[in-house]
Amino acid sequence: MRTVIDGAAIATVDAAGTEHTDGYVVVNGGLIESVGAGPAPADLPADHRVDGRGCLVTPGFVNTHHHLYQWATRGMAQQSDLFDWLVRLYPVWAGLDEEITRAAAAAGLVRLARTGCTTAADHHYIFPSGVGDLLGATVDAAQTVGIRLHAVRGSMDRGTSAGGLPPDSLVEDTAAALDGTGEAIARWHDASRGSFIRIAVGPCSPFSVSADLMSGAAEVARAAGVRMHTHLAETVEEEKQCLAEYACTPVEYAERLGWIGPDVWLAHGVHLSDGAIRTLGSSRTGIAHCPTSNSRLGAGIARVADMLAAGVPVGLGADGAASNEDGGLGGELRQAMYLARLRDGAGALDARRALWLATMGGAACLGRQEELGSLEPGKLADVAVWRLTGVEHAGIADPVAALVFGALPPLALLLAGGHAVIEDDESCLVTESDVARDLNVASQRLARKAGMLR
């Protein structure tokens, strides 16, 4: 099926930063066939033509860090920093089951799609025993909603009795966690070009995972040829704990355990020294920058401008909806730009660099920069068509500035692999009222399990 989007402003986000004030994009067979200035060739046959006048076309956004199950626990622990927030919510998350996880994942993925996201990395590390297939529920939700999923099979084996934060009842045995990770790779990972489901390996964090699990997970990942993901350097408290326990910083600890390299991307990276940034840049270790979540938890402002200058691959992450109740990715572009400017001045990050973070930067973190992240012939047809005709954007001559500085525009169309996921700002493959109803039911049931409702 060939789709022609015509008459739109185009931001390709290619290496040259090519843009067209009036251009076209042709999609054919799940791939981008051509991109150009002016009207599309008049004699080009098309199954579907999209009037792009008044619209901006960008690559679909890439979300590099999320916890979809947290959509069932939004609005809790509102005044907490990270460690207190986790301690308060772990007992609630202990009530997760397959049905709750599926409802939460579906709601989260719909919200991501509604904000321009076509690829989402989800880090799931809560696996209560005997409650069904939680990772499978997330995979099923992604296939239903229609966007790409990088499912990070997380794990924790360090409970409170071993000096960790999670209750002992929520952690896995080290061997069982590694076995579960291997099983997830064997069952779902699709390394083929254009795949919609990939698996990554993701022990949760240094304060919930043993050194044996960290190093063992690295071995499993590299033997299978999959990517690696964990939380690192999110808070001052984490750095203090790492220095006290291991006499090194979080980045030094990660390097000691084999968790630095071009197949690794780390969530947050807020508290990094100059030397740590040089290590990440020289090794091409990625960072998932989560500006709203970091703000909500008071974690700090990541040194995004310094990381980019050092060659660190940086993408954007919405993070879990229990620390970013909005849950979308589109708003993270503006938040990232504003926080970078608060830290380093008005020239620290511009609108186009923020768009790059959400597209090519994210694709690089996930190892898919040859497939995703820009509008170029031969790349996968993950395309967002933003409608800029409303009063929210009237008078802004620069369409990229309208997208990043202004209110998030409605989507005229969102394609993933050439298939419509959003059309006229509504989901194509699911009924959003049903998704919202299922999430309300799931959230209330989870709250009752935790003794928060009767």
Kindly list the domain boundaries of the chain, sorted by start residue. Answer: 2-59+381-427, 61-365
Q: Quick check: helix, strand or coil at residue 347? A: coil
Binned average pLDDT, 10 residues per bin, the chain of 454 residues: 97 98 97 97 93 98 98 97 96 98 98 98 97 98 98 98 94 98 98 98 95 98 98 96 96 98 98 98 98 98 98 98 98 98 98 99 98 98 98 98 98 98 98 98 97 80
174 to 90, 199, 207, 267: CA distances (angstroms):
19, 19, 15, 22
Q: Which amino acid is at 11?
A: A
Q: Quick check: helix, strand or coil at residue 285? A: coil
Residue 100 CA to residue 411 CA, distance in Å, equals: 28
CATH number of the structural domain 2-59+381-427:
2.30.40.10
Q: Which residues pair with 416 in a beta bridge?
A: 419
Residue 206 CA to residue 201 CA, distance in Å, equals: 15
According to DSSP H, which parts of 66-197 are helical? 82-93, 98-114, 134-145, 174-188
* φ, ψ of residue 281 in degrees (nearest 5): -65, -45
pTM of the model: 0.98
Q: How far is CA 153 from the centre of its chain?
A: 14
CATH of 61-365, picked from 3.30.200.20, 3.40.50.2300, 3.20.20.140, 3.40.50.1100, is 3.20.20.140
Q: Which residues pair with 25 in a beta bridge?
A: 5, 35
Burial of residue 195, with CB atoms counted within 10 A of its CB: 0-12 exposed, 13-18 middle, 19 or more buried: middle
Q: What is the pLDDT of residue 453?
A: 76
Q: What is the pLDDT of residue 454?
A: 62
Is-same-fold flag (2-59+381-427; 61-365)? no
Residue 342 corresponds to which tokens in the numbers above? 């608060």
Residue with tokens 């069932």: 72
**Please, are residues 388 and 399 in contact by the beta-carbon 8 Å criterion?**
yes
DSSP state of 380: B
DSSP state of 409: P
Altogether, the residues listed in the chain come to a count of: 454
**Of 438, 454, 453, whose CA–CA distance to 72 is shortest?**
438
Q: What is the pLDDT of residue 55?
A: 98
Q: Checking DSSP bridges between strand 419-423 and strand 197-203, what pairing results, if any?
A: unpaired
